[in-house]
Amino acid sequence: MKYCITVLLLICCTIATARAGDEARVSPPDLASVRELDLETAQRMALQSNPDMAAAQARIEQARARVRQAVAAWWPSIDLNATGSRVRRSDSAYAVAQFFPSISGQSTDRIYDQSAASLQATWVLFDGFYRSFSQQQAEFGEKSQEAARLDAQRQLVSAVAEAFFNAQLAQT
C-alpha cells in the first residue's frame, strides 16, 4: 500500500512539474510576413518578444496576488481539525483501567481508538491598523510594479527607435 501511494505521489509531482512549463509563451514574430520594417512594427515586435516585458508582467501579477492576500485578511477564517489515533495501553495502565472502569469514562480495552474533531471560526476585529497598512503597502507595490513595467517598455521602445534611426542613417 505504501508503495502504491509513493508511486501515485511521484506521478502527481511529475505531472505538476511538467505542467508548470506549459504556461502561455509568446511566440516570436514571423519576420517572413514583414514586407517593410517601419518603426512601429519594429517596436511592436520588440515588445512582443522581449523576455523582460514578460518578466515585468509576471511581477505585476505577483503584486496583484499580494493585494488579494492583504484583502483576504479582512475576512473571517474557518479552521477544521480532526485527529485520530490507536492507543495500546501499557500493562500498568491496563491494570488501572480494569480496576477503575467507571472513573475514567474510557474503554477498558487494552487497544482502543481515539478520535476528535473541532471547528473554529475567527474574525479579527482590531489589529492596530496592521491590515489597513498591509493592504495599502500591497496596493502601492502593485502600482510600483506597473510603473516599472511602463518604464521598461519606454526604455525598450526608445532603444528600438534609436537602433532603427541609426540603421536608416547608416544606409544613407
Lowest-pLDDT choice from 32-46, 117-131, 154-168: 32-46
Domain total in the chain: 2
Considering the domain architecture, whether residues 93 and 65 belong to the same structural domain is answered as no
Are 47 and 85 in a shared domain? Answer: no
| Model confidence pLDDT, tens digit, residues 31-89 | 667 778 889 989 999 999 999 999 999 999 999 999 999 999 999 999 999 999 998 98
Give the N- to C-terminal CA distance of the chain in Å, as an integer. 77
Cell 517596436 belongs to residue: 43
Asked, for residue 70, whether it belongs to a domain, the answer is yes
In a shared domain, residues 87 and 116:
yes
Identify which has the larger pLDDT, 61 or 110: 61
**Do 70 and 82 sit in the same domain of this protein?**
no
- Segment 108-117 shows an average pLDDT of 88
CA quadruple 147, 149, 151, 153: dihedral sign: negative
> For the residues 93-111, what does the mean pLDDT come to?
75
Distance from the Cα of residue 140 to its chain's centroid: 20
Q: Which residue range is the domain that position 92 belongs to?
A: 76-122
The pLDDT value given to residue 22: 46
Residue 137 resides in a domain? yes
Residue type, 58: A
50 phi and psi angles, rounded to 5 deg: -80, 125
- Both 132 and 171 in a single domain? yes
Rg of the chain over all Cα atoms, to the nearest angstrom: 31
Which candidate, 66, 59, 56, places its Cα nearest to that of 138?
A: 66
